[in-house]
Structure 1
Amino acid sequence: MAYAALVSLLQTIEEFPGPVRQITVVLQGKASCLLGILEDSSRKSSSSIKPLDGKIRDASFEAQDIIDTHISSQALSKSAGCGVGSCFWEIISALQDIFPAIHLCQTWTDVKGLQKVIDEFDSILEDLSKVNDGKEEAPGQGSSLAAGSSKSAPSNKIAVVGLDPDMMHIKDRLTGSPLKLDIISIVGMGGIGKTTLARNHYNDSLIEYYFDTRAWVVVSQDYHIKEMFTSLVGSTREVGDELNQRSIEELALRLYKNLKGRRYLIVMDDVWDTKVWDEVKRFFPDDNNGSRIILTTRQSKVAMYANVESPSHQMSLLSPESSWDLLRKTVFGKKDCPSALEKIGRIIAQNCKGLPLAVVVIGGLLSKAHDNKQEDWEHIASNVNSIIMRNDSDQLERILYLSYNSLPHHLKACFLYMGVFPEDKEISVSQLIKLWVAEGFVKPLTPKSFEEVAEDYFEDLSDRSLIQVQRRSSNGRVKTCIIHDMLRELCIKEAQEEKFIQVINRHIRLSPQGRNNQRRMSIHSNGLPYIEEFEASYIRSLLYFYNNSLLESQLSSLPMRCRLLKVLDALTIHFREFPIGIVELIHLRYLGFSYRGRVKFPASISKLLNLQTLIVLRGSNLYLPISIWKMPKLRHLLFTNGVFDYPCPTQVLGKDLVVLQNLQTLSGAINFRCTKNVFEIMPNLKKLGVSYIHDGHTNSSSYEFDNFIYLHQLETLKCLFTAEDFEAARPSHVNLAFPPSLKKLSLKGFKIPWEKMTIFGSLPNLEVLKLTEIAFEGSLWEPREGEFTKLKFLLIELRSLEHWKVNPEHFPQLQHLCLCYCFKLVAIPFEIGEIQTLEMLELYECPDSIVESAMLIQEEQQSMGNDGLRVRVFSTSDYVI
């Protein structure tokens, strides 16, 4: 965790120079140098830094503790001081800028502490210099897991369970069209069965007969190019020690000659890097004779790089039934399972969460159990995850840890952080990214924002099959994800050893060694009594996934015990009133909690000058003070129902208020004032969610929706309009104007006439449009040509719409059309089916005539050879926008 610790330290130094600027400048230089070395070691697959990782981490922690404690002490003294005392602190602060030699006693202590860290950094740099003097191996020439004859494919075909669809699909691609050389990529997480699937095809008698020659090579993370070619050449025709005497160029040429004119099958197992494919691809001839290459990898980008024309084969987890079938065969072979063990055996299989390697490892453990006693099986069933990681699971640990150890330094902390979430939790990617940023894991990369860099981190972890995408939003972006239980166990185990995260639940208590050095605590059950057992001053993050009646009162002690806290996620705890002590946690970057009833934030919330993310959920209205506009580092404000106090126009850019340059998200605001002056406070807002309750009297011009155009960076807008009485008239002639940057727009309840749709159709970057509950009013919609040029997703929930006239040029990029409760619409325009990009028609509670028209469109497209259009029909209970 050295990398994450250094990134966080450098961010802290940049924000707060520390007790003495000169010494923190030196500290900053040393930390930057070490960070550069870590980044370089990731690019070179160097292992020289690993033995020093813990020293760098601990020294970085110590420096950050000194600086943060110094800041807290000064803030506490200033807030407690008054009269002469307060003035004294201001004078000292001013004098320190002019005469650096003037310090308080505490400052001298801080200086000595920072100097100690600098000395430690110097010592580490010296050690690294000694290690790197001629001892580093060139990239790609590592010594571990090199390809070679010792790793050739086993000769026997092994039994597989649950892979029948995969087997049929791969076999069809191996022996079917096209005749040109085809690269078949099998992608999935470690232990999911990629190698097993490839091996069973490789050793299949039909495949052996079909291909003139075959070759198998295990590439792995650290590969030798020469040994890779040696293995391939030896598999195709030649064997003998003389191959080792040949150069890489000679071996590559020999491989090409051995394959030329023959129908061949090459399996490249466990490919980690696109460079591998660049090294070998030109030596695989394409004679248009049906030759094939199977490539297995954990990384989607590798698969896409090798073959952009054909889709990769994504491995799926086993079903519960297939898991049990595999477990039964692993334990008993061809024998029957005793009936007394079948029920508990099925539970064990299900607890393996569909990962074949986990099932096999547990099966091996059960096969060694004494006389297959039921109590042994029950014990394993209740502890399957921890047993896999703790007992004789070298194979599983080696494979899973290989994925983890191969991560570049900047991804390791992000991956281990997945362990803070409860088992099987569906994780919001948006929340995860905000947490990564608040934790200081993300290194800024101009011109990208912290969040954009964090999204790149997430995609990288997903490509490596370490995180599984669960759901996507309407614009195709990942909405939620999950992590397999086995990988989560790895995260928890490694994070605890790295002093990174401590998970507390009913089964885990802090070890004596862990009570004084854990930086992050994740509470999954009633773990608060344990807080008294550890040194809370070390804690930087507290995340609660548990709630009971005692938590609200017990959390009141946090400001005194965890003064350096940066992340507090207490969304599971329902407060009855604002926890006032939280405003003393001046280092907070992320704050999330829930509440009951109405809550009014105190003006002192502005003391949280470092706060980046504020999430407040549930309850009725939340009243926010004008001081919320004085918090310059705010990046995300998310509420269920947020009511704002507003500055007057003369205050907007005055000395008491700041321009919230960093604010990107404002969601859940009620009756928000869309004035130009208010929008000037948040010029870089990207996502806005607002709702309005019309009283039946307010003039339409007072809403000022045409001022949205001043939000020049806005990409997502959700604007909901309701009336106190549903039948009451909405304000007519509402003026609307949007910035050209808008990509996603959701409207509800406006009763806009269809003639104004051209305002929306002319938006040059609009990709998603959702129209619900009388957003538009009228019976006929006839789009104009040249509109909606980039629209990909369209949702219509309009009960008044009867006729819709369309031609394919109106929506040239449309991929997904969703119709809901369109009771008066006669039929889907037949021309919709002629849109070449259309992939999905979804219907929710629509009349039979609409369903029939959708089916006719699908049949017509199928008759023309377009099998890509799908139609899905749902009932009311399925409808979620």
Structure 2
Amino acid sequence: MAYSALVLLMQTLDKILHPCPQISSLKEKVCYLLDFLEDSSEKCTSTITDLEGQIRDAAYEAEDIIESHLAKESLSESSTSFWETFCSTIQNVLPAFRQRKVLNHDLEMEIKHLWKSIEEFEFILDSFFKIKKGKMIELLRPVTESLAGARLSRTTSCGQRAMVGLNEDFLKIKDWLTGSSSSREIISIVGMGGIGKTTLGRNLYEDSLIDYHFDTRAWVTVSQDYHWQGVVKDLWNSIALVKRESHDVLVLGYYYRRVWHRFGGVIPQHDEVCTEKSAESVYKCLKGRRYLIVMDDVWDTKFWDDVRRLFPDDDNGSRIILTTRLSEVAFSSESFSYIHDMNLLGFDESWNLLCAKVFGEECCPSELEKIGKDIVRNCKGLPLALVTIAGVLSKRRTQDYWEYIARNVKLGVNGNDDRLLEILSLSYNHLPHHLKACFLYMGVFPEDREILVSRLIKLWVAEGFLKPLYSKSLEEVAEDYLEDLVHRSLIMVGKRGHRGEIKTCIMHDILRDLCVKKAKDERFLLVLNRNARNLPEVGYTEYRVSIHSHILRVGMHDSRVRSFLYFAENKSSNLSLSFARFRLLKVLDALTITFYEFPTQIVELVNLRYLGLLIQSLFGLELPAAIVKLKNLQTLILIEDMYDFDDAVLRLPSEIWEMPQLRHLSFKRGLLPRPSRERLDRENSFDMAHLQTLSGVKNFKCRKEVFRIMPNLKKLGISYVFGNREKRSSYDFSSFVYLHSLETLILSFDDREHWKDILMNLAFPSKLKKLTLSGCRIPWSKMTIVGSLPNLEVLKLKESAFEGRVWEPEEGEFLRLKYLLLDRIHLRHWKASETHFPNLQQLSVFFCFELAEIPSAIGDITTLEMIELYRCSHSAVKSAKLIEEEQRSLGNESLKVRVK
């Protein structure tokens, strides 16, 4: 975790407004080390692994000292800065330390520790210079003879592999390999580590029909640390074993060995003779022949560019298979023909695979069947896990032993056979430095938990894992990181939004176990999941703590813990925390703990960046003005559990506008006061430029001058419930147009009242992509204010958002709309065609009892995939089914109609 520790330290150093020369020098060293780690290839990390631990420890130590004093200065009214003292002391460091004339003992020790950290960075930097000096020699070293031989022995072993659960995949790809297409085609088999990519590829490669169909075949295991010379040589050796091209191979092998020994095992960079001759020979051998090449375990997107010239395209039906964990590798070939995604096994397939491995052709004894099936469920469909645990179970087929393994199945998978952990660890080891912390952080979430991506991204940002980019927000950088982890098959997509964005993600249990183990080894995260009411005090070394059980008390004594996350399901448990001991806390996520009032001690945690609390109150709650002390707070999530009274709200102080680092404010019913007009009129009086989310606010005053101070707001959610004495005329709903960055808007009005008089001037910004309206009671004739939005992709109309008996859309509107929801809309006739919603993908109609029918022309929308109806009139349901039947008769099988 050296990289993430350096990123965090750099963010901390940036907080020092007037750094002394020593601190500026430290920043330069941190910048250099960050650049070095970013530029260094994953293939060279073995040479710097030892130093990475030193970097992490030194960065943590320096950050602890600096953050501690930043917190003290923030809470103190003293004008004397620690940095002034540090700078003046360091100028005469030895006399000051020896004579102790100015400093008290504690301050002296802290200065010593910080100076020691700076000296530690000096030492590390010297070591990195030495590594950098010798780096090029290391990169020029090709694959050794023994490694090539090991590769060959792995790739040429015969015998059919277990095909349980892969038969459908096997037949599908086999048909493609022997298909009628004459052009050279490429297939990529993509999936997480241990899912069976190599097994599937090997069975295809060794199939008798495949052997008969192709003139020649070759298998090469590429792996992470591939070298051009090694790949070419392995290709030659594999071809020789299959088709006995002995003469050419012997000549090439003799030439290769002569060059190898001549240069002492190091082929100079300028001498490309051997490589070029090898490439030319491979090309000539394949020229004119129908060949099958399997390149297993490809990691580098540039690999295909390196090898493509080896493979001639003679329009004779040749095929190339790549197996990879990274979907970006699959797409890196411009001429790829087919990408095959591997899926986890179902329960029956998993059980059959386990039985095949443990018992062969025999049946499982009845006394072991129930236990065995429990073990299978814990393997969650991952073939490598099943094969690994089968090796453990086959050692002793007794009921007592199997019951023991069932109780400790993860020990059996991850402990007794290190092969599974080693193979899955390759995915982690290959990660770029900037993704490792993000991956390990997935371990904070409980097992089998579908993770809300919006929450995950906010946590990543607060933790400081993301290095800012000039052209993107931190949240956009986080989205890119998440997509990268998905493409590497380390995280699976749970749900996608209607605009294609990832809404939730999940992680295979065994990969999560890898996360937790690696995180603990790296001192990155401690997960407490034992069923205990109390735990001993967490030590000084834990950096993040995630609690998954109903623990009522956790002791921490002046801990360095930066993040505390509580995920117990029982919301009635009230965790006892002494917040004063969390002096360096940055993240407090306690949305499953019930607080009965706002914990006032929290305002002393001035380093806090993320705060999520659940507060239960009968008639409302008022947030203290002292919350303004949390100058570093980025995310504030308060879920208020209160009676459903109009006055039962969360009242926020006006000081909330004086917290410039805020990025996300989310409430259930938060009453947010408008900034004073006098201060709004003063230029630069407020700065909420970082604010991106403001949701769950009640009766928010929409004014141009208010929106002006939040120019980067992307998501806004407001509900309006006015009392009799409320002056509605003070609300200007045309002011939304001044939110130039707004992408998501949720407006909810009490549908018991009529709002037409104040909503007739409603207007929206042009960047809006997602709009939800409820209770507005706007006439359908005014729908053009919505339909004309050029970027609108999702529209949800709820609870009489529009009123009238007939809706007839205008031509040229809703040009980008992908999802349309009509929920409790009192509409009788809807006159629409494919020209009104040219890009619609899903139509959902809920509780529309009066709607006579779904317009038949809706079925002619070429992009439409789903029509969903719930509790609608019989005539509307009948019309939807008729649309489905008509489209099927026209050959359109993609449109589905779902009725509930």
Q: TM-score, normalised by structure 1?
A: 0.91
Distance 1:228 1:839 in 2: 45
- Closer, same or farther in 2 for the Cα pair 1:97/1:415, shift >3 Å? closer
Corresponding letter in the other structure for 2:322: L
Mapping 1:405-416, distance limit 5 Å: 405-416=429-440
Aligned to 1:81: none
Mapping 1:281-360, distance limit 5 Å: 281-306=308-333, 310-360=337-387
How big is each residue's C-alpha offset from its partner over 1:560-596, in whole Å with a ceiling of 9 and x where there is no partner?
A: x111111111111011111111111000001111111
Q: Indicate the SS of the match to 2:7.
A: helix
Question: Does the 8 Å contact 2:540/2:560 carry over to 1?
Answer: yes
1:626 aligns with 2:654: yes
Distance 1:866 1:177 in 2: 26
1:136 offset after TM fit, Å? 4.2
How big is each residue's C-alpha offset from its partner over 1:455-484, in whole Å with a ceiling of 9 and x where there is no partner?
A: 111111110000011111121110111111
Question: Does the 8 Å contact 2:457/2:475 carry over to 1?
Answer: yes
Corresponding letter in the other structure for 1:65: D
Aligned to 1:134: 134
Q: 2:784 aligns with which of 758, 764, 770?
A: 758
Distance 2:46 2:139 in 1: 11
1:718 aligns with 2:746: yes
Q: 1:256 aligns with which of 283, 295, 300?
A: 283
Distance 2:841 2:336 in 1: 20
Identical pairs, percent = 53
- Closer, same or farther in 2 for the Cα pair 1:696/1:320, shift >3 Å? farther
Q: Indicate the SS of the match to 2:763.
A: coil
Distance 1:274 1:284 in 2: 18
Corresponding letter in the other structure for 1:9: L
1:578 aligns with 2:598: yes
Corresponding letter in the other structure for 2:637: I
Corresponding letter in the other structure for 2:52: D
Question: Does the 8 Å contact 2:788/2:814 carry over to 1?
Answer: yes
Aligned to 1:6: 6
Distance 2:85 2:708 in 1: 36
Distance 1:177 1:779 in 2: 57
**What CA RMSD, in Å, does the superposition of the two structures yield over aligned residues?**
2.8
Aligned to 1:795: 821
- Closer, same or farther in 2 for the Cα pair 1:525/1:680, shift >3 Å? same
Q: Indicate the SS of the match to 2:835.
A: helix
Q: 2:806 aligns with which of 762, 777, 780?
A: 780
1:382 offset after TM fit, Å? 2.2
How big is each residue's C-alpha offset from its partner over 1:289-337, in whole Å with a ceiling of 9 and x where there is no partner?
A: 3322221111111112225764521111111222111112211111111
1:648 offset after TM fit, Å? 2.5
Aligned to 1:86: none
Aligned to 1:607: 629
Q: Indicate the SS of the match to 1:216.
A: strand
Aligned to 1:243: 252
Mapping 1:493-532, distance limit 5 Å: 493-506=517-530, 515-527=539-551, 529=553, 531-532=554-555
How big is each residue's C-alpha offset from its partner over 1:31-51, in whole Å with a ceiling of 9 and x where there is no partner?
A: 111111111113664432211
Question: Does the 8 Å contact 1:855/1:871 carry over to 2?
Answer: no
Question: Does the 8 Å contact 1:504/1:510 carry over to 2?
Answer: no
1:825 offset after TM fit, Å? 2.8
Q: 1:191 aligns with which of 183, 191, 194?
A: 194
Corresponding letter in the other structure for 2:223: S
Aligned to 1:595: 615
Distance 2:290 2:436 in 1: 43
Deviates more, 1:119-128 or 1:649-658: 649-658
How big is each residue's C-alpha offset from its partner over 1:703-749, in whole Å with a ceiling of 9 and x where there is no partner?
A: 322111111110111111124xx4x4344451211111111111111
Distance 1:399 1:314 in 2: 19
Q: Indicate the SS of the match to 2:504.
A: strand
Corresponding letter in the other structure for 2:333: A
Question: Does the 8 Å contact 2:689/2:710 carry over to 1?
Answer: yes
Q: Indicate the SS of the match to 2:439.
A: helix
Question: Does the 8 Å contact 2:186/2:338 carry over to 1?
Answer: no
Aligned to 2:589: 569
Aligned to 1:637: 665
Distance 1:43 1:368 in 2: 38
- Closer, same or farther in 2 for the Cα pair 1:92/1:849, shift >3 Å? closer
Corresponding letter in the other structure for 1:578: F
How big is each residue's C-alpha offset from its partner over 1:76-128, in whole Å with a ceiling of 9 and x where there is no partner?
A: 443xxxxxxxxxx2366998799898986566554433221111111111112
Question: Does the 8 Å contact 1:696/1:729 carry over to 2?
Answer: no
Corresponding letter in the other structure for 2:422: R
Distance 2:252 2:683 in 1: 77
1:527 offset after TM fit, Å? 4.3
Aligned to 1:397: 421
Distance 2:862 2:368 in 1: 55
How big is each residue's C-alpha offset from its partner over 1:345-379, in whole Å with a ceiling of 9 and x where there is no partner?
A: 1000000011110011111001113xx22222122
Gaps of 5+ in 2: 93-101, 257-273, 643-648
Q: TM-score, normalised by structure 2?
A: 0.89
Question: Does the 8 Å contact 1:148/1:227 carry over to 2?
Answer: no
Gaps of 5+ in 1: 79-88, 876-881
- Closer, same or farther in 2 for the Cα pair 1:613/1:653, shift >3 Å? farther
Distance 1:830 1:792 in 2: 18
Distance 1:166 1:571 in 2: 43
Distance 1:137 1:831 in 2: 68
Q: Indicate the SS of the match to 2:293.
A: strand
Q: Indicate the SS of the match to 1:638.
A: strand
Aligned to 2:269: none
Q: Indicate the SS of the match to 1:537.
A: coil
1:216 offset after TM fit, Å? 1.2
Question: Does the 8 Å contact 2:552/2:575 carry over to 1?
Answer: no
Distance 1:510 1:536 in 2: 18
Q: Indicate the SS of the match to 1:538.
A: coil
Q: 1:151 aligns with which of 151, 154, 162?
A: 154
1:684 offset after TM fit, Å? 1.0
Deviates more, 1:791-800 or 1:6-15: 791-800
Distance 1:835 1:679 in 2: 38
Distance 2:471 2:67 in 1: 28
Q: 2:175 aligns with which of 172, 177, 193?
A: 172
Aligned to 2:402: 377
For these two proteins, the number of residue pairs brought into alignment is: 853
Aligned to 1:541: 563
1:698 offset after TM fit, Å? 5.4
Distance 1:706 1:511 in 2: 55
Aligned to 1:53: 52
Aligned to 2:514: 490
Corresponding letter in the other structure for 1:591: L
Aligned to 1:125: 125
1:171 offset after TM fit, Å? 2.2
Aligned to 1:67: 66
Corresponding letter in the other structure for 2:635: T
Aligned to 1:810: 836
